Protein backbone atom coordinates (compact mmCIF):
# COMPACT_ATOMS: atom_id res chain seq x y z
CA UNK A 1 0.00 0.00 0.00
CA UNK A 2 2.89 2.38 0.62
CA UNK A 3 3.80 2.42 -3.06
CA UNK A 4 0.31 3.10 -4.37
CA UNK A 5 -1.48 5.16 -1.73
CA UNK A 6 -0.32 8.70 -0.97
CA UNK A 7 -2.49 8.76 2.17
CA UNK A 8 -0.67 5.72 3.51
CA UNK A 9 2.66 7.53 3.29
CA UNK A 10 1.13 10.44 5.20
CA UNK A 11 -0.13 7.97 7.82
CA UNK A 12 3.40 6.57 8.22
CA UNK A 13 4.73 10.07 8.90
CA UNK A 14 1.90 10.80 11.35
CA UNK A 15 2.48 7.49 13.14
CA UNK A 16 6.20 8.15 13.44
CA UNK A 17 5.55 11.69 14.67
CA UNK A 18 3.14 10.50 17.37
CA UNK A 19 5.52 7.75 18.47
CA UNK A 20 8.43 10.20 18.58
CA UNK A 21 6.47 12.76 20.58
CA UNK A 22 5.30 10.04 22.97
CA UNK A 23 8.89 8.92 23.53
CA UNK A 24 10.08 12.50 23.97
CA UNK A 25 7.34 13.20 26.52
CA UNK A 26 7.91 9.92 28.36
CA UNK A 27 4.22 9.01 28.57
CA UNK A 28 3.19 6.15 30.86
CA UNK A 29 2.27 2.59 29.88
CA UNK A 30 -1.48 3.19 29.98
CA UNK A 31 -1.14 6.15 27.65
CA UNK A 32 1.00 4.05 25.31
CA UNK A 33 -1.68 1.37 25.29
CA UNK A 34 -4.40 3.84 24.33
CA UNK A 35 -2.23 5.58 21.72
CA UNK A 36 -1.25 2.20 20.25
CA UNK A 37 -4.88 1.12 19.97
CA UNK A 38 -5.82 4.41 18.31
CA UNK A 39 -3.00 4.07 15.79
CA UNK A 40 -3.90 0.43 15.13
CA UNK A 41 -7.56 1.35 14.57
CA UNK A 42 -6.61 3.88 11.91
CA UNK A 43 -4.29 1.44 10.15
CA UNK A 44 -6.86 -1.37 10.26
CA UNK A 45 -9.58 0.83 8.78
CA UNK A 46 -7.18 2.05 6.08
CA UNK A 47 -6.33 -1.53 5.08
CA UNK A 48 -10.00 -2.55 5.06
CA UNK A 49 -10.75 0.53 2.96
CA UNK A 50 -8.04 -0.47 0.50
CA UNK A 51 -9.39 -4.01 0.31
CA UNK A 52 -12.93 -2.80 -0.31
CA UNK A 53 -11.78 -0.39 -3.00
CA UNK A 54 -9.76 -3.11 -4.73
CA UNK A 55 -12.64 -5.58 -4.59
CA UNK A 56 -15.11 -3.02 -5.92
CA UNK A 57 -12.74 -2.03 -8.74
CA UNK A 58 -12.24 -5.68 -9.62
CA UNK A 59 -15.95 -6.53 -9.75
CA UNK A 60 -17.39 -3.34 -11.18
CA UNK A 61 -15.96 -2.18 -14.50
CA UNK A 62 -18.50 0.63 -14.95
CA UNK A 63 -20.06 3.15 -12.60
CA UNK A 64 -22.60 1.74 -10.19
CA UNK A 65 -24.20 3.66 -7.30
CA UNK A 66 -23.68 0.75 -4.88
CA UNK A 67 -19.99 0.62 -5.76
CA UNK A 68 -19.73 4.33 -4.95
CA UNK A 69 -21.59 3.77 -1.68
CA UNK A 70 -19.23 0.94 -0.67
CA UNK A 71 -16.18 3.09 -1.36
CA UNK A 72 -17.66 6.13 0.39
CA UNK A 73 -18.60 4.18 3.51
CA UNK A 74 -15.14 2.57 3.70
CA UNK A 75 -13.46 5.97 3.30
CA UNK A 76 -15.80 7.42 5.92
CA UNK A 77 -14.70 4.73 8.37
CA UNK A 78 -11.08 5.77 7.87
CA UNK A 79 -11.99 9.42 8.39
CA UNK A 80 -13.93 8.61 11.55
CA UNK A 81 -11.11 6.51 13.00
CA UNK A 82 -8.53 9.17 12.15
CA UNK A 83 -10.67 11.82 13.85
CA UNK A 84 -11.05 9.66 16.95
CA UNK A 85 -7.30 9.01 16.99
CA UNK A 86 -6.64 12.75 16.74
CA UNK A 87 -8.89 13.38 19.75
CA UNK A 88 -7.18 10.60 21.72
CA UNK A 89 -3.75 11.94 20.77
CA UNK A 90 -4.69 15.47 21.74
CA UNK A 91 -6.08 14.39 25.11
CA UNK A 92 -3.09 12.21 25.95
CA UNK A 93 -0.21 14.14 24.40
CA UNK A 94 -1.58 17.68 24.69
CA UNK A 95 -1.18 18.40 28.41
CA UNK A 96 2.37 17.04 28.78
CA UNK A 97 3.38 18.66 25.50
CA UNK A 98 2.12 22.07 26.63
CA UNK A 99 3.84 21.58 29.97
CA UNK A 100 7.12 20.52 28.38
CA UNK A 101 7.03 23.35 25.86
CA UNK A 102 6.27 25.75 28.73
CA UNK A 103 3.78 27.84 26.80
CA UNK A 104 2.35 29.21 30.04
CA UNK A 105 -1.20 28.09 29.29
CA UNK A 106 -3.48 27.08 32.11
CA UNK A 107 -5.12 23.80 31.14
CA UNK A 108 -8.63 22.94 32.31
CA UNK A 109 -7.61 19.28 32.59
CA UNK A 110 -4.55 17.11 33.21
- List, in order of start, the domains of the chain with CATH numbers: 6-98 (1.10.287.3610)
Q: Is 7 exposed, middle or buried (0-12, 13-18, 19+ CB in 10 A)?
A: middle
Cβ contacts of 24 within 8 Å, gap of 6 or more: 100
Q: How far apart are the C-alpha atoms of 14 and 82, rounded to whole Å?
A: 11
pTM comes to 0.84
Q: Which of 47, 53, 94, 100 is nearest to 72 (CA)?
A: 53
- pLDDT category of residue 107 using cuts at 50, 70 and 90: low
Q: What is the pLDDT of residues 12-24, one digit of tens each?
A: 999 999 999 999 9
Q: Which of 18, 41, 43, 46 is catalytic?
A: 46
Active site residue 46: yes
Q: What is the pLDDT of residues 15-54, one digit of tens each?
A: 999 999 999 999 999 999 999 999 999 999 999 999 999 9
Amino acid sequence: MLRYQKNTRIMVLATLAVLGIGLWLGIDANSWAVISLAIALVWITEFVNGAIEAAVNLTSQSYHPLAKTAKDVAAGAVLLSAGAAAVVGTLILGPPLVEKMNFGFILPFG
